[in-house]
Amino acid sequence: MFLEAKGEFLRENGRVKVRLEPRFTSEPPLAEPEIYALLTLGTPDVARLAETLPQAALGAALENLVLGQLERELSRALGLDRFQVQVPAIQGGSLEETRFSLGKYLSPELFLGYEVDLRGEQTFSAQYRRDGLTFTLSSTFLPGDGRLARFGFALGYDLTEALA
């Protein structure tokens, strides 16, 4: 699946905005309705929408209502700024891919995060944000022996309030 976007920068009401026109393509080639069905429901077979849509809608409702409420309550109870549970099994994925993310702002500029899945893969991250500049460091460790699997850093800048 490939995403191509063409666009332009516009100035509206004194603010800089971006107008993008996305276009999806795939290999092997699929029709546009098949691509959207694949992205939203996990199957390119438009004929199977009747059987797939209720399951996808139920999974989305479960995630948004039940998990959302659980996340908010646990976040509040634990004093965290973020507590998130991702359960791909609801949408047809495997149970081992379930991820728990939590994080806390130590100051308005500094956020520390931790993520773990049921296989034991762990990611630690830190994000520092000040005057429109964002610097992020992250490290992912493999389950079992805890070897470093991935180290990453990112640098970002907010050109305006609406464009980063």
| pLDDT tens series, the chain, 164 aa | 676 767 777 777 777 676 767 777 888 888 877 777 676 666 666 566 555 555 555 555 556 666 677 788 878 888 899 988 887 766 667 778 888 999 999 999 999 999 998 888 999 999 999 988 999 999 999 888 878 889 999 999 988 877 77
Q: What is the pLDDT of residue 52?
A: 56
Q: What is the pLDDT of residue 59?
A: 58
For residue 18, give the 3-state DSSP assignment. strand
pTM of the model: 0.57
Q: Is 31 left (phi over 0), alpha (psi -120 to 50) or beta?
A: beta
DSSP 62: I
Computed from CA positions of residues 120, 147, 111, 157, in that sequence, does the dihedral angle turn out positive or negative?
negative
The answer to whether residues 51 and 45 touch, using CB atoms and an 8 Å cutoff, is no
- How confident is the model over 35-51, as pLDDT tens digits? 776 766 666 665 665 55
**Taking the CB of residue 37, how many other CB atoms lie within 10 A of it?**
21
Q: What integer pLDDT is reported at residue 65 of this predicted model?
A: 62
> What pLDDT sits at residue 43?
65
